Chains A and B, each alone.
Chain A
Amino acid sequence: MSARFEPITGRYLHLDIEGVPHRVYVEEAGQGIPLLCLHTAGSDTRQFRGVMNDARVRERFRVIAFDMPWHGKSSPPAGWQNDEYRLTTRGYAAQVLAICEALELERPVVMGCSIGGRIVLQLALDHPRRFRAAIGLQSGAHVDPYYDVSWLHRPDVHGGEVCAGVVSGLIGPNAPDAERWETLWHYMQGGPGVFKGDLYFYKIDGDIREKIAAIDTSLCPLYLLSGEYDYSCTPAETLDFAARVPGAQATIMSGLGHFPMSEDPQRFLSYLHPVLDRIR
């Protein structure tokens, strides 16, 4: 194989989020309509490598992804050692809006998966005019706890192993092996307590079941793409959700699980292209 660079570039952005200085790692590829991508809990922007490397997407879209603070190559803010990390709705929305402002993105499309899929709902609800469209991957309004998350952060259990072990079954059974284990590797590299801290938003603070019917899809079109094998955000929940939000468009992705863009990028793109084609 001859050596080659991918068309993705990454840089570090210094900005304040809720008045706190941060150094955030941002990747981008392509030109055109800004498409801001939000990764899942406990992972990082590498999940969107398939989307960024896709020539058809890059033709019309400037794809941007950032590692959330505490994730990937974005450090926690100074003083982190004295904090227990906990993601909240307010803090997460502030991150996304701060990035949009710092990069001067004009009405970007916002696409997020899992916790990212949850926050795009909140953004569509609270800031519909700031976004051209919202794409929720594995987007649910709420998830009932189904295991004890305290196992994810304790000194006598390896955090990387247990976080990846917990999420491993969320990947569709026919995902290509290399992409499956790449996806799990991202989880294995997460910092101590970060996945658990993200789940505070996903399972507790970010419950928006009572609010979703107020999303105005005439101002911010909402597309939902959910993998068939996801038992965290199930297809049934996605379809129920779509039925409660007038104008929301839901598609169930056959064979895919909770990390569609990362576990099987090519199969995911076959579902994403038709959605992107509708966005002008």
Chain B
Amino acid sequence: MSEMVGWLDRLVKAVNEDPHLTQRGRHVDCLMLVDTGATQHLLDIRRGRIESLSHGPFVMPRWDLALRAPLDEWLAFWAPLPAPGHHDVFALIKRRVLRVEGNLHPFMANLFYFKAVLAAPRPAQPMPADIAGALQ
């Protein structure tokens, strides 16, 4: 199965264990499809918690919101310190490598929530070299 499964498991755990984030998303009820082109994954979000994660292929998927980007883009987005252009979903949208489709109202009305959910599996950032140097 795709590398995405591990990353999305990590995403679900990080979101559901973050009370500030689930509180921020308390008005979000949404079926969100994540599509790499090769694999599809469906997250069922209820009141800010991710109630289920299922993996395709799906015969007749039903979703409110679909995010489509190649696997490489997701992996670069989840790097501990992502490179410029890979660090935010809007940066991906601007580079035309991520498409957000469907009912955009919950996405835009809860943009901080969705940005945090999508970034949730990203490992903690290493301290930048210049700051680490200054502290030594």
Contact = CB atoms under 8 A, between A and B. Distances in A.
Interface in B56-114: 81-82, 84-85, 87-91, 93-95, 104-105, 108-112
Contacts of B108: 151, 157, 162, 165
A146 interface: yes
Contacts of B104: 148, 151
A168 B90 CA distance: 9
A165 B111 CA distance: 5
B94 A161 contact: no
B90 to A, nearest CB: 5
B133 interface: no
B13 interface: no
17 contacts: A148-B104, A151-B104, A157-B105, A157-B108, A161-B110, A161-B111, A165-B111, A165-B112, A168-B115, A169-B87, A169-B88, A173-B81, A231-B84, A231-B85, A231-B88, A231-B90, A255-B128
Interface in A141-165: 146-148, 151, 156-158, 161-162, 164-165
Contacts of A147: 90, 93
A256 to B, nearest CB: 10
B136 interface: no
A231 B91 contact: yes
A94 interface: no
Interface of B: 81-82, 84-85, 87-91, 93-95, 104-105, 108-112, 115, 125, 128, 131
Contacts of A229: 84, 87
A166 B107 CA distance: 11
Contacts of A168: 88, 111-112, 115
A168 B87 CA distance: 11
A147 B112 CA distance: 16
Contacts, number: 64
Contacts of B93: 146-147
A174 B109 contact: no
Interface residues of A, number: 25
A231 B94 contact: yes
A148 B111 CA distance: 14
The secondary-structure label for the interface of chain A is: loop
A179 to B, nearest CB: 14
A146 B84 contact: no
Contacts of A164: 112
Contacts of B84: 228-231, 234-235
Contact of A166 (B87, B90, B95): B90
Quick one: which of B84, B105, B131 has the most chain A CB within 10 A? B84
B94 A165 contact: no
Contacts of A162: 108-109, 111
Given A146-B94, A157-B105, A173-B81, A166 B88 contact: no
B4 to A, nearest CB: 22
Contact of B112 (A161, A174, A255): A161
A165 B110 CA distance: 8
A87 to B, nearest CB: 22
A169 B90 CA distance: 7
Nearest to B81: A173
A174 to B, nearest CB: 5
Contacts of B125: 173-174
A47 B10 CA distance: 36
A235 B91 CA distance: 14
B95 to A, nearest CB: 8
A157 B109 contact: yes
A255 B94 CA distance: 19
Nearest to B82: A173
Q: What 3 pairs across the A-B complex have the smallest Cβ distances?
A: A169-B88, A165-B111, A146-B94
Contacts of A231: 84-85, 88, 90-91, 94-95
Given A157-B105, A173-B82, A174-B125, A166 B91 contact: no
